[in-house]
Amino acid sequence: MSRPDYAEKIPNNVGLAEDRRLRRALESWQPDFLSWWETMGPALPTQDVYLRTAIDVRGEGWAQFGHVPMRDYRWGIFLADRNPDRRIAFGQHKGDPAWQKVPGEYRAELQRLIVIQGDTEPASVEQQRNLGATAPSLYDLRNLFQVNVEEGRHLWAMVYLLHAYFGREGRAEAEELLHRNSGSQDSPRILGAFNEETPDWLSFYMFTYFTDRDGKYQLGTLKESAFDPLSRTCEFMLKEEAHHMMVGTTGVDRVVERTAQVMIENDTDDVAALGAIPLNVIQKYLNFHYSVSLDLFGGETSTNVANYYTAGLKGRWLEERRKDDHQLTSDSIMVDALVDGAIGQTEVMALTGLNTDLRREYIADCSGGVKRWNKILADAGLPQRLYLPHVAFNRKVGAFAGIEASPGGEMLSAGEWAARRGQWLPTGTDKTFVRSLMRPVYERGKIAAWVAPPRNGINSQPFDYDYVHLA
């Protein structure tokens, strides 16, 4: 069954109509979700927003677009189609049929993986709660809300799994997902980057580029899971995630484009007084978001992750395209490490180095963004370039957590770091400056001065379309 049933109170393609107990459990979680959305979701009052809603899980026409009051958005449960012949692609159960139920021996680990993924989804909605007040255009405002409703739906996706497969404990975890809050003193979100603020739109574009992209890679590993319902859930989430990546990629494109324009027109690097964001400030924001996102991949080595892989719970990025035995019991990998106190690498078992493998896939993907932003600079005739900082820069997790390094990868004493960090990470002054540019532009077809308009609108609509009706 691929087409969701919209006659149900909770739209779904998992046959909720036939499972009264599960349906009742989820329907009793639904009002809690809605009150969370009201108190922690987008703060800007709107009448309606031009949003896409999934109507299928396959092919081109999987979503429909229309103006909807956000409160009435049809958050639902959509899994990619089941492949009845699917077999486990890696680990010690390689070749066995994929699991339709949770094996008792892996219950705790699977639940933990789902909770950690689930926790990030509402966290980003909370982080972005106040951005509507300063949107640079109605187009951007609509994209923010689209990302928000879909992160809300991703929470539904994980809560469905908890309710359907993890009994009473799963239901308790589903409640907790609404009680923890981003940045809260008493009950913060699980992962560090999801407790950082997203106070301005440059941060939002960087977040959707770098941090949502971490999400893409995590989902990619869970899509390989032997637990088939988790795999199918993640497969469909990845389809939605592509739009979030687009918002980040083109968002940074447009900031760089505008900055380049103002630099050329005025023949200066110092564009702050002209209402654009200087390239060095863009670089500092990039440094920050990239380095905190690298931390999300965990330590360079992990026996937990090795065990998840061997058990079949979590695979590698594009597992089935890898040309090896998919068990990795006799392979090795070089991972980043402190070697005699210096930044270096060391060889470990491939299984324990899986976090490094995933982080490297992610880094390669991130360098694609830098390439396109540099092309914008080159095409404008500017010699300056953006770059990804060294993997040891500003790390709080893993081998380099205890040291300080420059973006070039040079080790620094605590004193040198303290003296120079303001050259590399946003300072209070930089943040205040960026915030000072953030004034809302809610007029159709208009845009703030610090960012270029997009090349294309949404769903073939023009840029000056009425994407959002404010209340």
CA 251, distance to chain mean position in Å, is 15
User: In whole angstroms, how close is the CB of 144 to Fe ion at the nearest point?
Assistant: 12
Give the span between the Cα atoms of 81 and 57, in whole angstroms: 7
Q: What are phi and psi of 314, to 5 degrees?
A: -145, 120
Contacts of residues 104-110 at CB distance under 8 Å and 24 or more positions apart, as own/partner, are 106/227, 106/311, 106/313, 107/166, 109/307, 109/308, 109/311, 109/313, 110/166, 110/227, 110/230, 110/313
Among 129, 153, 244, 258, which residue sits at the site for Fe ion (rule: CB under 5 A)?
244
Dihedral sign of CA atoms 236, 298, 282, 378 in order: negative
Residue nearer to Fe ion on the CB measure, 244 or 258 = 244
User: In whole angstroms, how close is the CB of 92 to Fe ion at the nearest point?
Assistant: 30
CB within 8 Å of 180: residues ≥ 6 apart: 119, 123, 187, 188, 189, 190
CB within 8 Å of 460: residues ≥ 6 apart: none
User: In whole angstroms, how close is the CB of 432 to Fe ion at the nearest point?
Assistant: 28
User: In whole angstroms, how close is the CB of 151 to Fe ion at the nearest point?
Assistant: 5
Q: Which two tokens stand for residue 181?
A: 């809050």
Residue nearer to Fe ion on the CB measure, 114 or 376 = 114
User: In whole angstroms, how close is the CB of 157 to Fe ion at the nearest point?
Assistant: 8
Residue nearer to Fe ion on the CB measure, 180 or 244 = 244
Residue reference for tokens 């769903």: 459
Contact by Cβ (8 Å): 300, 363: no
C-alpha angle 92-298-106 in degrees, rounded to nearest 5: 35
Using CB under 5 A, which residues numbered 281 to 320 contact Fe ion? none
CB count in 10 Å sphere of residue 388 = 18
CA 33, distance to chain mean position in Å, is 20
Q: Which two tokens stand for residue 291?
A: 């380095």
Residue nearer to Fe ion on the CB measure, 284 or 314 = 314
Residue nearer to Fe ion on the CB measure, 208 or 355 = 208
Of all residues in the chain, what percent are helix, strand and coil, respectively (each to 5)?
A: 50, 10, 40
126 binds Fe ion (CB under 5 A): no
Residue nearer to Fe ion on the CB measure, 212 or 228 = 212
Q: Which residues pair with 49 in a beta bridge?
A: 68, 468
Q: Applying CB under 5 A, which part among 26-34, 157-165, 205-213, 246-254 lies near Fe ion? A: 205-213
Residue nearer to Fe ion on the CB measure, 241 or 430 = 241
Among 212, 235, 404, 430, which residue sits at the site for Fe ion (rule: CB under 5 A)?
212
User: In whole angstroms, how close is the CB of 121 to Fe ion at the nearest point?
Assistant: 5
Using CB under 5 A, which residues numbered 140 to 169 contact Fe ion? 151, 154
Residue nearer to Fe ion on the CB measure, 151 or 200 = 151
User: In whole angstroms, how close is the CB of 241 to Fe ion at the nearest point?
Assistant: 5
Residue 291: CA count within 13 A, CB half-sphere: 26
Q: What are phi and psi of 152, to 5 degrees?
A: -60, -40
Q: Applying CB under 5 A, which part among 19-27, 99-107, 196-204, 212-220 lies near Fe ion? A: 212-220
Give the span between the Cα atoms of 288 and 120, in whole angstroms: 18
User: In whole angstroms, how close is the CB of 465 to Fe ion at the nearest point?
Assistant: 23
Give the span between the Cα atoms of 18 and 14, in whole angstroms: 9
Q: Applying CB under 5 A, which part among 174-182, 241-249, 278-286, 316-324 lies near Fe ion? A: 241-249
User: In whole angstroms, how close is the CB of 247 to Fe ion at the nearest point?
Assistant: 9
Residue reference for tokens 């809610």: 442
**Going residue by residue from 8 to 47, which x/- string records binding to Fe ion, judged by CB under 5 A?**
----------------------------------------
Residue nearer to Fe ion on the CB measure, 241 or 295 = 241
Q: Applying CB under 5 A, which part among 86-94, 161-169, 243-251, 379-387 lies near Fe ion? A: 243-251
User: In whole angstroms, how close is the CB of 128 to Fe ion at the nearest point?
Assistant: 11
User: In whole angstroms, how close is the CB of 119 to Fe ion at the nearest point?
Assistant: 11
Run of H or E residues at 241: helix 228-266
Residue nearer to Fe ion on the CB measure, 124 or 356 = 124
Q: Which residues pair with 339 in a beta bridge?
A: 342
Q: Applying CB under 5 A, which part among 135-143, 164-172, 204-212, 448-456 lies near Fe ion? A: 204-212
Q: Which two tokens stand for residue 70?
A: 């956000």
Residue reference for tokens 């026996």: 303
Residue nearer to Fe ion on the CB measure, 121 or 300 = 121
Site residues, Fe ion (CB under 5 A): 121, 151, 154, 212, 241, 244
